Chains A and B, each alone.
Chain A
């Protein structure tokens, strides 16, 4: 049976054949069932296509099918004997870059598509920048449509060279280039016989073998979601804290600090409905009992001993991806969502906007839809934060419009201070 989940995001610009690649992966991995395939064939036929358009497997909304484009993040699921995959397929249009950010936020691997005929374009840089910013652990550069350049090695090499300079300017630690042809299936699931010069794995094999995200090795972070006080006949005095381990490992007996109060205690027990645990690693949903009678509530964080420690912060410098049509300006106010806290926040100033193509920061006093920029935020009550570079879950935040509830920005903590 398959092992752990691997979360993958695919990104590419318009007409890179991304939906076709995803359709091909699902099809060749036998995740497409006969009736779904029949529906695709019927729909392709209705549109006058000669061959089944595998993109129609993925483009689910009426407007997408009518316009032949992908608008929204689509989640796809497939399993091989070796692994289970959650695939976030994100659209390529510039105006939908916010969806790439969404898909990348949970991904272990980003597959960035380029068309072998056009190579690295602005949108490729943008997607690489998003993957770098969101700290996706592994990047695949999928050079698609190799069939249209006669499976030519120098074409592939040139694109890899171009992308290497993009990657180094963004500070990406590395990437895996794969030449493929989604339409014909070369190097998607099966190794291509038409590119003998390529010695690496086909895409699916790479995804099966790549290590899922290494856990962040900082001390434990456990934001309290709910307080468990059943007051039942069976558990009259039970008091535990339900939450998910967001970094490190919690162990029974470990000394911990509770923030923001700063009180210290130790872990008396780690409970689940299936029984007690000796320890719980990152990602596990558990109930924690503490040795001392300390009253915690939602939003408090149980923190393991040792460095680095999180900051009980009222000032945050954060990189934002602006997701709304309404621009951001200094002094705008929001609700800030961070771990299990929601606090009021005001934007003190906009430090700069990142120019994706030149990877430089420019002075600005406004951020518009799809802009990426750095801001300074002041918040009404503290949050318990780490830099995003240290730990995704305790470094990530949302800015929410208080009136409508709309999610306006995705943010990553650069620096937090009291």
Chain B
């Protein structure tokens, strides 16, 4: 049998490290989704977690194709490199890409943009619209429990009601590896195959598997300026203000989201081995370093999740 994925051969296949344990668990979850649901979809942003998830899906259904489409909830405020990577990558993996557009939702009046505010919270309506339009009953997300306190309490199979809402007080107990995907018509189930992975696990796996990522994850020179304690890139969506001092720094991104609320970090980690070393030694969490949207309050993420956010 030939190896499917573009990475280097993995050598000793019976070598059971913790990464193999995590991979086996995620593959089992992905196969349960296809076994239990009619119309799954995988949320794909072009970020590292969704790329790893798609890689795992390719392994889970090898030698067949990934048996579901991918969906990008597009805020319209993207890094161009990431969108280019997204389009090439779905082509390479042979999956269909569905786009749920925040811009379209704004244009049609489905959501109202507050000038000067970030668009991340606006993703919820297009996401739910996209799920309804595709009649998707299982929505695979790349969220990890180590990211954030509210996510630490999320199930792997997590039911959303008609309104896409999460009720943390009324979650189904999840026992053994018996996932319960049963739901009422109109409800859907969010599934998180990377629940038990940490940021370091994801990077160590990217290294082991030789997974390609958008270049902005690695150190590169970029024009940036300071805002709210973050390093923001100069883009058409984030123009510097009159008082902002623009300078060129060697930076990389730890998360890739909406350009208006995702900050860069100073880093000279130019390849995956350097990033793994950097993440292992990090003293600031991934979201703390780079995500303005989580800083709103102690329970910002929980509040957004209750509304139907990822």
Quick one: given A60-B153, A75-B145, A84-B18, are A407 and B59 in contact (CB under 8 Å)?
Answer: no
The minimal Cβ–Cβ distance linking A79 to chain B, given in whole angstroms, is 7
Task: Report the Cα distance A394→B41, complex, angstroms.
Answer: 29
**Complex contacts, A238 vs chain B, CB 8 Å:** 63
Instruction: Tell me, yes or no, whether A121 is within 8 Å of chain B by CB.
Output: no
Contact indicator B16/A285 (Cβ below 8 Å)? no
- Cross-interface CB contact of A232 among B63, B145, B149, B204, cutoff 8 Å: B63
Given B13, B63, B196, which contacts A75 in the complex, CB threshold below 8 Å? B196
Query: Contact mask B48-64 → A, CB, 8 Å, 1/0?
Result: 00000000001111111
* Residue from the list B21, B187, B282, B298 in contact with A5, Cβ < 8 A: B21
- 8 Å CB interface, B163-184 against A: 168-169, 171-178, 180, 182-184
Residue in A84, A277, A406 whose Cβ sees the most chain B Cβ within 10 Å: A84
Of the 9-residue stretches A33-41, A111-119, A302-310, A372-380, which lies at the interface with chain B? A33-41
The smallest C-beta distance from A27 to any residue of chain B, in angstroms, reads 13
- Among B63, B148, B168, B289, the residue within 8 A (CB) of A234 is B63
Chain B binding surface SS class? loop
Q: Out of B22, B288, B299, which one reaches A65, CB within 8 Å?
A: B299
Is B227 positioned at the interface, with any CB of A under 8 Å from its CB?
no
Q: Counting CB contacts under 8 A, is B5 at the interface?
A: yes
A62 at the binding interface (Cβ < 8 Å): yes
CB pair B172 A406 closer than 8 Å: yes
B82 is an interface residue with CB less than 8 A from chain A:
no
Q: B195 an interface residue at 8 Å Cβ cutoff?
A: yes
Question: What's the Cα separation between A359 and B17 when bound, in Å?
Answer: 40
Select the stretch in A94-102, A175-183, A257-265 that faces chain B: A94-102
Say yes or no: is A290 at the interface (Cβ < 8 Å to chain B): no
From 101 to 144 in chain A, residues with beta carbon under 8 angstroms from any chain B beta carbon are 101-102, 105-106
B196 contacts A86, CB within 8 Å?
yes
Interface residues in B1-34 by Cβ distance below 8 A to A read 1, 3-5, 9-10, 13-14, 16-18, 20-25, 27-28, 31-32, 34
One of A242, A271, A335 near B182 (C-beta < 8 A): A335
Bound Cα distance A186, B196 (Å): 29
Binary contact track A24-53/B, C-beta < 8 Å → 1, others 0: 000000000111100100010000000000
Taking CB atoms, residues of chain B closer than 8 Å to A406 are 172
Given A102-B173, A396-B178: A404 touches B153 (CB 8 Å cut-off): no
Decide if B139 is an interface residue (CB 8 Å cutoff).
no
Instruction: Say yes or no for A276: interface residue by CB 8 A criterion.
Output: yes
Report if B284 contacts A (CB, 8 A). yes
Do the beta carbons of A36 and B63 come within 8 Å of each other?
no
Judging by beta carbons under 8 Å apart, are B175 and A105 in contact? yes
Residues from chain B with a CB closer than 8 A to the CB of A287 are: 62-63
The stretch from A146-154, A160-168, A223-231, A343-351 touching chain B is: A223-231
Q: Specify the chain A residue showing the minimal Cβ separation from B27.
A: A285
Interface flags for B196-218 (1: CB within 8 Å of A; 0: not) read 10101100100000000000000
Given A235-B63, A244-B24, the answer on whether A106 and B180 have CB atoms closer than 8 Å is: no
Contact of B175 among A61, A398, A405 (CB under 8 A): A398
Pair A101/B196 contact, Cβ less than 8 Å:
no
Asked if B150 is an interface residue, CB under 8 A from chain A, the answer is yes
B21 touches A4 (CB 8 A): yes
With a cutoff of 8 Å between Cβ atoms, the chain A residues found around residue B18 in the complex are 2-5, 79, 84
Contacts of A39 on B, CB cut-off 8 Å?
Answer: 288, 298
- B contact residues, range: 35 or more
Question: Given A71, A102, A275, A342, which contacts B169 in the complex, CB threshold below 8 Å?
Answer: A71
Whether the pair B285, A74 counts as a contact (CB closer than 8 A) is no
Shortest Cβ distance from A323 into chain B, in angstroms? 5
Number of residues of chain A lying within 8 A (CB) of chain B: 82
What is the bound-complex CA distance between A339 and B31, given in angstroms?
13
Asked, given contacts A33-B288, A405-B180, whether A275 binds B13 with beta carbons under 8 Å apart, the answer is yes
Write the A319-342 contact mask toward B (1 if CB under 8 angstroms, else 0): 000010000000000010111101
Chain B positions within 8 Å of A71 at CB level: 168-169
Give chain A residues whose Cβ lies under 8 Å from the Cβ of B283.
33-34
Q: Is the CB of B65 within 8 A of A285?
A: no
Q: Does A416 make an interface contact (CB < 8 A)?
A: no
Partner of B31, one of A60, A72, A226: A226
Residues of B within 8 A of A102 (CB): 173-175
CB A331 to nearest CB in B, in angstroms, measures: 21
Q: For the complex, is B35 an interface residue (Cβ under 8 Å from A)?
A: yes
User: Does A276 lie within 8 Å of B1, measured CB to CB?
Assistant: yes
Taking a contact as CB atoms under 8 Å apart, the answer to whether B153 and A61 are in contact is yes
B146 CB-CB contact with A under 8 Å? yes
How many angstroms from the CA of A284 to the CA of B172 in the assembled complex?
A: 26
Highest count of chain A CB atoms <10 Å: which of B5, B159, B177:
B177
Hey, which bits of chain B sit against chain A, CB under 8 A?
1, 3-5, 9-10, 13-14, 16-18, 20-25, 27-28, 31-32, 34-35, 58-65, 145-146, 148-153, 159, 168-169, 171-178, 180, 182-184, 187, 195-196, 198, 200-201, 204, 282-285, 288-289, 298-299, 302-303
Interface residues of A (CB under 8 A from B): 1-5, 33-36, 39, 43, 57-63, 65, 71-77, 79, 84, 86, 98-99, 101-102, 105-106, 225-226, 228-230, 232, 234-235, 238, 240, 242-244, 271-277, 279, 281, 283-285, 287, 298, 323, 335, 337-340, 342, 392-393, 396-398, 400, 402-407, 410
Known: A59-B149, A62-B303, A230-B64. 11 other contacts (CB 8 A): A33-B284, A61-B169, A75-B153, A77-B198, A106-B177, A226-B61, A243-B31, A275-B1, A277-B13, A338-B178, A403-B184
